Amino acid sequence: MNDIKTEKVPEVFYLDEEIKAVKEKGVLDYRSKRLPVWCPGCGYFGIQTAIVGAMKDLGVKTHELVVVSGIGCTGRYPFFVRGYGIHALHGRALPVATGAKVARPDLTVLAVTGDGDCLGIGAGHLPHAARRNVDITCVLFDNGIYGLTKGQTSPTTPAAQVTNSHPYGSPDRPLKPLMTVLAAGATFVARGFAGRPKDLRVIMREAILHKGFSFVHVLSPCVTFDKVNYLYPRLEELVMPLPKRHDYADYHMAVERAMDDELFLGLFYKTEEPSFSEKLDDYAGRSG
């Protein structure tokens, strides 16, 4: 039974031609040597592509990048990124990212988190990160399910859906993440779809550039544990861009659209307010 005493598995490298081609474009600079362990077809690959693309667009330096995550399939993300990575505890990406950013305002800090991670166990931190306006980008990988633990109800699983933890269907009305952060006062609120990595790349770019708390809700299929809800074809039908007339400076309009059962994509809301670090600097100045 002492079968597996010794690790000898070599580090895995991307080697095939296609990937070499990508490398030429520079985005592979933002990937670590580890091959993502996600299931083939998982939406997270699309999100990964988008984020990495945005990094490249912005020319973020890998040593000035801090990626913090919680626990879940989402949580593995920092292992696949080149940069300083913090795979924190379940639900705690935001506090750790906040501490990192306040300590080192010069670094780019990303918090990636799952629907269970962010809205379940981590639900207490989200409104506070938002209202502080900490200058981090929080990316919610929302697959409407607990992936890593193999298919239980998450806070965004639709009511009545049957999951491993609710064999008779979930009794709970799902949360609307955009409403949650808008209610708490987030200054940048957007939604993307893992199946449209190019659009998402643009959103991510804006989100990272935004000075303050930016929140990007990304719809993403879990191809392994969700066979009814966030399927690619179903999502393709459900999502739609925010109407042309949508004014992201209008808070009320943003709230209206976030309330909506339609899954709009795009920038819901954006406003400029001093970031947490700016406010703390300001106080430090006053105190000095």
Partner 1 sequence: MRQVDLTIEICGSSGDGTLAVGEILVNTLSDLGYRALSFDVYPAEIRGFGKCVAHCRVSDKPVYSVGRSVDALVSLNDPYSIEQLATLKPGGVVLFDSWPLREVSEESCVAGRLGPGMYLYGVPFGELSQRSTHGARSRNLVALGAIAGLFDIDAEAFEAGLDRKFGGKKGNVAQTVKAAFRAGHDYVKEKLLKVDPVSFAVKEELEKKDFQIMNGNQAAARGAIEAGCRFYAGYPITPATKIMEILSAKLPPLGGRVVQAEDEISAIGMVTGAAMMGTRAMTATSGPGVCLMTEFIGYNVMTENPVVIVDSQRGGPATGLPTKTEQSDLLLALFSGNGDAPRIVVAPTSVEECHYWTSEAFYLAEKYQTPVILLMDLFLSTCKTNAVLSELDKAKLSANKSPSPGEEGVGRFKVTEDGVSPRALPGTPGFEWTVSGLEQNELDSPSYYANVHTEMTEKRARKLMTALQNDVPRPERFGAKGKVKLGVMGWGSTMGAVIEAVERANEAGLSAAALKQVVLNPLHVEDIEKFVDDCEKILVPELNYSGQFARWLSMHVNKPIHGLNMVKCSPLTYLDVLEEIERLITETS
Ligand X SMILES: Cc1ncc(C[n+]2csc(CCOP(=O)(O)OP(=O)(O)O)c2C)c(N)n1
Report 126-145 residues binding a copy of itself (CB under 8 A): 127-128, 131-133
258 binds partner 1 (CB under 8 A): no
Nearest to 260 by CA among 159, 176, 156, 186: 176
Beta strands 263-270 and 188-193 are antiparallel
The C-alpha atoms of residue 92 and residue 70 are separated, in whole angstroms, by: 6
Contact segment (CB under 8 A) with partner 1 among 49-57, 140-148, 235-243, 254-262 equals: 140-148
Span 105-134, contacts to partner 1 by CB under 8 A: 106-107, 120-121, 123-125, 128
The tokens of 98 are what?
């906040």
Name which of a copy of itself, Mg ion, partner 1, none residue 143 binds, using a CB cut-off of 5 to 8 Å depending on partner kind: Mg ion
Please say whether the beta carbons of 50 and 201 come within 8 A.
yes
**β-bridge mates for residue 108, sequence order:** 65
Q: How far is the CB of 48 from ligand X (least distance, A)?
A: 12
Q: How far is the CB of 107 from ligand SF4 (least distance, A)?
A: 28
9, 144, 262, 273 from 115: Cα distances, Å: 32, 6, 19, 27
Tokens 């580890």 map to which residue? 34
Residues in the chain, overall count: 288
The phi and psi torsions of 215 (rounded to 5 degrees) equal: -125, 125
159 binds partner 1 (CB under 8 A): no
Q: Where are the beta strands (DSSP E) in 70-187?
A: 84-87, 108-114, 137-142
Residue in 30, 77, 141, 230 binding ligand X, rule: CB under 6 A: 141
Contact segment (CB under 8 A) with a copy of itself among 57-65, 120-128, 197-205, 237-245 equals: 120-128
C-beta of 85 vs 120, nearer to a copy of itself: 120
Name which of a copy of itself, ligand X, ligand SF4, none residue 38 binds, using a CB cut-off of 5 to 8 Å depending on partner kind: ligand SF4
Phi-psi region of 287 (alpha: psi -120 to 50; beta: other; left: phi over 0): alpha
Q: How far is the CB of 259 from a copy of itself (least distance, A)?
A: 7
Q: How far is the CB of 162 from a copy of itself (least distance, A)?
A: 11
Please say whether the beta carbons of 153 and 231 come within 8 A.
no
- Binding residues for a copy of itself (CB under 8 A): 119, 121-125, 127-128, 131-133, 155, 167-169, 171-176, 179-180, 182-185, 251-252, 255-256, 259, 273, 276, 279-280, 283-284, 286-287
